[in-house]
Structure 1
Amino acid sequence: MIKAIIFDYDDTLVQTRKTRYNTIYKLTKEIFNTNITEKEIDEAWGLPAEDFLLKLFGRFSSDIHYLWSVYIEFSKKDLNVPHLNAFDFIRKYQNSFQFGIVTSSSEKVVIRELNEIKINTNLFLKIQTSDHTSVHKPNPEVFEPIFELLKNENINKNEIVYIGDSPADYESSSKFGFHFLGIAHDSRHIPYFQKEKIAFVQNFFEVENYLIHEKNFR
């Protein structure tokens, strides 16, 4: 029986790819007076926060504090947008499950964005970001800190499902011993999920049907 649901953050709960690609295009043009390609952003996407910034902008500056400041400045102009029903689902079932987030994004970005879209962070037992571990997905050890908290709640690995949008989410969580449910808000990773026979849904209405009404992972 599932007792805890942990989410990836970017492109799972919120539409980060759509929002931040626009941010990066504008920042690169206005600050560094050049253009950046979608392929270049793709190659950096999913890296831990500081590695992500250096991959994108390291050729212009190696000062991570400066890169953070301009990235945050531009990010504030482009508010992130929740995926439909994502946080409604969490609020609806807050008394039925322990909820958590494990993400490669930085704490200052995630907490700021959740505050901007008026999400109560107390809905989550833990919001674990790149600041909280020295390892990152697809390394399964990334889940050690949040699992320690869940063990204190008498929750075992086979009572936890991780919901994410990418191959790295699946590889890390399944190797750690969690159940996994893919969420494909767009078609990028559907071929991977299908090829590997990984359970996936395409929106949070389907998450509710899969986990609650159809009672999978029991």
Structure 2
Amino acid sequence: MQPSYPLDYEAVVFDFDDTLVATMQVKWEHHREVARRWYGIDLTVEDFKANWGKPFNELIAVLYENSDTVENMRLANRSLNSHYPKKAHPGAVDVVVRLLDQGAEVAVVTSAEAGEVADDLSRLGFPAARIGYLQGADHTVRHKPDPAVFDPLKQHLRARGVSLSSTIYVGDALIDFCAARGAGLDFLGVATGMTSAEEFRVAGARSVASLAGVLPELSRPRATDRGRAIR
């Protein structure tokens, strides 16, 4: 039987790409092939990593060097989507289900587009219908690391009677941490993307090595250890 962790938060908000799902490697291969096949661009991994995390339209404009209209570049990218599917990180679905079963409000705030994320959540077996709030890059003109990216979420939480002090954002990148901290949200890093546990520690963020550590870290027994990075 899995242990039960009394939660220290009413609302747990997740980033999506590289937090709940493994994205960066498969999308690097995806964007590299689109750039090569349609635009004759030899995309480098350095250029990809330097721009990873931007809203989709901004990302493809840079990676494909504005070689076409945004709409045509979107179509080129989408034409290969089925060849490069995202996969859930181990334990991701279980963590979300267990949080919901313990009464937490679960939400997603991501730089990806909401419709695509909703499709991925359903396809990968997440309880999409139980996730109370999904915000994509197409829902706001403000994007991470700008703390104002969380303004629509704050409105949702107020309507639900949930305070910021009882809300935490879980993400894989330092831009997630900066945005959450600036918005007055607590933050937990997961070292499943480009940011390591050591980099989170140096920045002043607590972190866990994988999603398996999320529930214990959000429980009351560890509430006094929030400055510590968990490896």
Which bin holds the TM-score, normalised by the shorter protein? over 0.9
Shift of 1:215: 4.2
Q: Deviations over 1:56-83 (max 9, x none)?
A: 113422x111111111121221110111
Q: Which residue matches 1:202?
A: 209
**Gap change, CA 1:54 and 1:212, over 3 Å in 2:** same
**Ranges in structure 2 where 5+ consecutive residues have no aligned partner:** 1-7, 227-231
Residue of 18, 23, 29 corresponding to 2:36 = 29
Q: Deviations over 1:101-151 (max 9, x none)?
A: 111111232123223323332221111001111101111111111111111
Q: Deviations over 1:146-204 (max 9, x none)?
A: 11111112111100000001111011111111110010025633332121231100111
Shift of 1:88: 0.9
Number of corresponding residues:
217
Residue of 85, 91, 98 corresponding to 1:92 = 98
What amino acid maps onto 2:173 in structure 1? S
Q: Which residue matches 2:124?
A: 117
The 3-state SS of whatever aligns with 1:214 is helix
Q: Which residue matches 1:172?
A: 179
- Partners of 1:109 and 1:187 in 2: CA distance: 22
**Ranges in structure 1 where 5+ consecutive residues have no aligned partner:** none
Q: Is the 8 A contact 1:20 1:75 kept in 2?
A: no
The 3-state SS of whatever aligns with 1:173 is helix
Q: Which residue matches 2:82?
A: 76
Normalising by the residue count of structure 1, what TM-score does the alignment of the two structures yield? 0.92
Q: Which residue matches 1:150?
A: 157
Range with bigger deviation, 132-141 or 207-216: 207-216
**Gap change, CA 1:184 and 1:4, over 3 Å in 2:** same
Shift of 1:28: 1.9
**Gap change, CA 1:215 and 1:122, over 3 Å in 2:** farther
What amino acid maps onto 2:72 in structure 1? Y
- Partners of 2:51 and 2:117 in 1: CA distance: 18
Range with bigger deviation, 31-40 or 16-25: 31-40
Superposed CA RMSD in Å reads 1.8
**2:201 matches 1:160:** no
Residue of 73, 87, 110 corresponding to 1:67 = 73
Residue of 12, 20, 33 corresponding to 2:27 = 20
Range with bigger deviation, 111-120 or 36-45: 111-120
The 3-state SS of whatever aligns with 1:162 is strand
The share of aligned pairs that are identical, in percent, is 22
**Structure 1 outlier segments of 4+, above 6 Å:** none
**Gap change, CA 1:187 and 1:51, over 3 Å in 2:** closer
What amino acid maps onto 1:88 in structure 2? D
Q: Is the 8 A contact 2:93 2:125 kept in 1?
A: no
- Partners of 2:142 and 2:17 in 1: CA distance: 18
Normalising by the residue count of structure 2, what TM-score does the alignment of the two structures yield? 0.87
Q: Which residue matches 2:48?
A: 41
Q: Which residue matches 1:193?
A: 200
